[in-house]
Structure 1
C-alpha cells in the first residue's frame, strides 16, 4: 500500500463566530484553505463560560452539510423543521442544509468545559437544493474499538477497515463518501489506517502531537494544526506521547465553490438568489424534510 504523508500544515487561528463563541479555525479560514469536499473545520474548547455562553442564535444555511461532534458539554439544536436535539458529550449532529435551513445551537450549561468540532462538508451541485435533513447520533450509536493495543478508534462516518476488524459507523451512503474517525493513541503506539485512493484526507490533533510516518522518517503534526495528506492508500500514525485526533476523508467534488457567509453554491448568481430567498422568507420553501438514515454498526 502506498503511504500518505503530510503535504500541508494549517495552524488553527483563534476567531469568534455566532454571538461571540471563541473557536480555533483551520480549514476555511479563507477561500484558499479549503480541501474539497471540506469547506471549514472549527474546534471549540473552553472552561470559561464567557467563551461560549452566547452560543449560535438562529441563522440560515444553504448548499452544504454541517457536522457537530461534541467531545464535552451540552448544546441544544433547534431548527425551522421542528427538530430539537440535545447534543451531549460524545454525540454527533449531522445536518444537511440543502436548499435551506434556519437553526440555532445554544449552550445548555452555565459553567464547565465545552469542547468539540464543527465541520462544513460541501454538497455537489445536483444536491445543493435538495430538502433539508437532520439527525441526532447518540454516543451509544457510535462504535468504538481497539484495533491493536494502545489504539482506540470511534467510527462516526464510513467504515474503518483494519486487518483485525472492519467497523462501520452510523453515517454512510453520502455522495462524498465521508470518513470521520476519532483516534486515540497512547505513548509508543502506531497504526496504519487504510484510506480510499482519490479521497482527500485531513488530520487534526486536539490533544497532543501525532507523528506521521513516511519513507525517510517521521513528520510531526502539533496540537490544533490541520494536516492535509498526500494521495495514497493508507496513512501510518504514531505517538511518542498520548495523542487524540480526528481523521477526515472525503471524495472531492471538483466543482466551483462560491461562498457568502452561511451560503455555499456554485456561482455568484446562485448566492444572490440565496440572499433574496432568505430576505423574502423563501429560503426554506420547497418540499418536505427528509430523513438521514443511520447504518447499523458492524
Structure 2
C-alpha cells in the first residue's frame, strides 16, 4: 500500500492593487454622490424651479405687455427666473457634499485611502462643479421651453445672436457652479451642515442686501464686491437688472464681477485646504 499524499496547497490569486489617482478619486466621489436619493431629489428640484417660475413670470408679463413699450421685457431674464431658488438648493447640496462625511465619520476612510488629503478636496469639487453645470444648463433649456408659449404675447424673445442674451443664458450655469463651489468651501472649513448652510444663505440673503441698503457710500461700495453681488453681474441684464436676490453692483462689468466671485471661491478653498492638512479628521 502506498501512503496517501496530501493535496498541494492552492494559493489564492493575488489581486493587483491599483494606485490612487485623481481620476479614480473623482470616480469614487461620483459614486458617492449619485448613490444617494437625496442628491437626485435636490437636482430635480433645482432644475424644476426654472420651468415653473419661467412659465409663471412669462404669463404674468404677457398680460401687461400691451401697456409696455416695445423691447421692455428681455426674454432670458424670464427664462432664468428660477435662478435664485435653484441657487438655494445647489448651495445646500454643495455644503452637505463635504459635511456629511464628517457627520458620519466616513471622512476617515476616505482620507485613509488618500492620505495626501488635498486630492480628495479637489475631486469632490470637480464632481460638484460638473453636476452643477449640467443642472444649470438643463434648467435654462427647461425654462426656455416653458416660457416660449408666452414670448409672442409678451413681445419678447431669446436671440442667441445677441451677446447679452447669450451671456445671460450661459452665465446661469457658470454662476451656479461658482456659488456652489463657494458653499463647498465654507462647508469644508466649518465641517457642519447647519453652520455651512446658514453661513452661505446668511451672507447672500441677509448680509449683502443689508449692506446695500445702508445709506453709507463706503459700505455700499464694499457690498458691491461681496460674492453674490459681484457674481450676479454675469446674469444681469442692462435693461432689466438681475433675477438674483441681493445687492447689485453697478461698479463692475459682467465678467469682472464674475472674476471677483471666483476670487472669493479661491480664498475659501485655500482656507479649506490649509485646515484639511492641519486638522484631524
TM-score, reference length from structure 1: 0.22
Greater radius of gyration (CA): 2
Higher helix share: 2
TM-score, reference length from structure 2: 0.23
